[in-house]
């Protein structure tokens, strides 16, 4: 999919439209914080009491519904144009490791809004955040501070039928430049013998990328594309590092060598 560069898009809008965009923009932060916190607090006790597969699946579908609602708000307010139609092919998939590049804070929101059965591998600080802590625990999300048990917990979630979403860069890209991959995803794939399905995320803006001020408005609508890439199956004769390097090389072949506001989103 090709998007025109942000720098070349028309910027002349009426004061009324700019004012409405600002209200909708600030409203998005408010909705995410208030609705997310309310559901998170409500899920704190159930997350402790109920720990089985059914509870995890309910939590995953709950987060999916909340994120779908949020993305719908962004679309209706003309803040976002999201092309994620290719992910519909994964809606009934189970036990996949979904590996994606990470240009923006909202990448996980976009992916999970499309897929009802996803477990995220998250930073420990996010799992403790009031907006996510209750729902993330109920959904069986895994945090990266789980130590030696991390691989075992991820294998368990895959056996339960969830798809595991991992951003192997470990942090957001800087100016479209991918960070070297951490190979934990490859170790999990090798241990669980689970296929890795790649998701290529591209955008016409660096909005909420590394270094972007949190409340700085981008040029609206921000345009994102989530495309399905190749699927890789771990081989018994290939070590995890070699397998992970193969997946990383594939991402480099799919994404521009440098990116910014003028990146091309061609497949």
pLDDT digits (tens, 9 = 90+) for 196-246: 999 999 999 999 998 899 999 999 999 999 999 999 999 877 789 999 999
Give the structural domain span for 120: 8-254
d(CA 106, CA 87): 16
H-state helical runs in the chain: 15-42, 44-49, 53-76, 107-114, 124-127, 133-138, 150-159, 184-192, 240-254
User: Contact, 195 vs 189, CB < 8 A?
Assistant: yes
Give 178's DSSP letter: P
Average pLDDT, the chain: 89
Q: Is residue 147, in this structure, part of any structural domain at all?
A: yes
State the pairing for strand pair 118-122/163-166. parallel
Residue 211 domain-assigned (yes or no): yes
Q: Report yes or no on 261 lying in a domain.
A: no
Q: Helix, strand or coil for residue 32?
A: helix
Q: Are 135 and 67 in contact (CB under 8 A)?
A: no
Note whether residue 265 is domain-resident. Answer: no
Cα angle 179-182-188, degrees, rounded to a multiple of 5:
145
Domain count, the chain: 1
Please say if the pLDDT value at position 258 is more than 70. Answer: no
Among the listed residues 166, 162, 54, the one whose alpha carbon sits nearest the alpha carbon of residue 118: 162
pLDDT band at 16 (very low <50, low <70, confident <90, very high): confident
CA torsion sign, 22 to 28 to 31 to 33?
negative
3 domain residue, yes or no: no
Share of the chain above pLDDT 90, in %: 76
CATH code of 83's domain = 3.40.1130
- Domain contains 263: no
Question: Alpha carbon 128 to chain centroid distance?
Answer: 18
Q: Tell me: the pLDDT tens digits for 28-52?
A: 999 999 999 999 999 999 999 998 9
Q: Contact at 8 Å (CB) between 7 and 262?
A: yes
The more confidently predicted of residues 259 and 121 is 121
The Cα–Cα gap between 132 and 66 comes to 11
Task: Answer whether residue 2 is part of any domain.
Answer: no
pTM above 0.85, yes or no: yes
């Amino acid at each position: 999919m090709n998007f025109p560069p942000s720098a070349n898009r028309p910027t002349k809008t009426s004061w009324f439209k700019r004012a409405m965009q600002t209200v909708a923009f600030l409203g998005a932060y408010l909705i995410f914080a208030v609705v997310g916190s309310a559901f998170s607090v409500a899920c704190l006790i159930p997350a402790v009491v109920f720990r089985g597969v059914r509870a995890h699946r309910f939590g995953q579908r709950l987060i999916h519904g909340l994120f779908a609602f949020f993305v719908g708000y962004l679309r209706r307010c003309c803040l976002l144009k999201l092309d994620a139609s290719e992910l519909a092919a994964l809606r009934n998939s189970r036990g996949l490791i979904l590996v994606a590049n990470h240009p923006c804070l909202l990448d996980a929101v976009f992916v999970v809004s499309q897929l009802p059965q996803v477990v995220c591998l998250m930073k420990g600080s996010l799992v403790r955040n009031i907006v996510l802590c209750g729902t993330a625990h109920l959904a069986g999300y895994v945090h990266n501070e789980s130590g030696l048990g991390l691989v075992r917990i991820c294998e368990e979630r895959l056996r339960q039928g969830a798809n595991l979403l991992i951003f192997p860069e470990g942090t957001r890209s800087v100016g479209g430049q991918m960070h070297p991959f951490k190979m934990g995803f490859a170790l999990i794939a090798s241990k669980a013998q689970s296929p890795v399905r790649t998701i290529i995320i591209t955008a016409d803006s660096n909005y909420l990328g590394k270094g972007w001020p949190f409340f700085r408005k981008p040029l609206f609508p921000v345009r994102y594309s989530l495309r399905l890439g190749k699927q890789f199956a771990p081989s018994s004769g290939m070590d995890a590092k070699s397998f992970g390097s193969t997946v990383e090389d594939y991402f480099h072949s799919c994404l521009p060598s440098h990116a910014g506001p003028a990146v091309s989103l061609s497949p």
